[in-house]
Amino acid sequence: KDFNTGYYKIGISNNPEYREKTLQSEKPTIEMVCNKKYVSRRMALSFEQALHKTFSEKRVRGEWFELNPNDVEEIKSTLNSD
């Protein structure tokens, strides 16, 4: 989440903690809200694409979305379910 804009980035990374740090070097107001490790990159990409499609009307630019708290909780709940 970018705490300046309130926008959320939905993306995948092989190393999310490192990716968070690279984003923070440009904008220190960015903080990771949640993440999940997938067995394969293909599975992660599939889930990322599903989220992008689900929230397409809330896309601001690229992988940045203007989500409300319910959207974020829905994503977190989905990520935490097995």
Question: What does the pLDDT look like over 27-82, one tens digit per residue?
Answer: 999 999 999 999 999 999 999 999 999 999 999 999 999 999 999 999 999 988 75
Which residues lie below 8 Å from residue 1, measured CB to CB, with a gap of 6+? 7, 8, 9, 30, 31, 33
For residue range 2-18, list pLDDT tens digits in order.
Answer: 999 999 999 999 999 99
> pTM of this prediction?
0.89
Q: What is the pLDDT of residue 82?
A: 58
Q: What is the pLDDT of residue 21?
A: 94
> b/e string for 47-74 if b means 16 or more Cβ within 10 A?
beeebeeebeeeeeeeebbebeeebeee
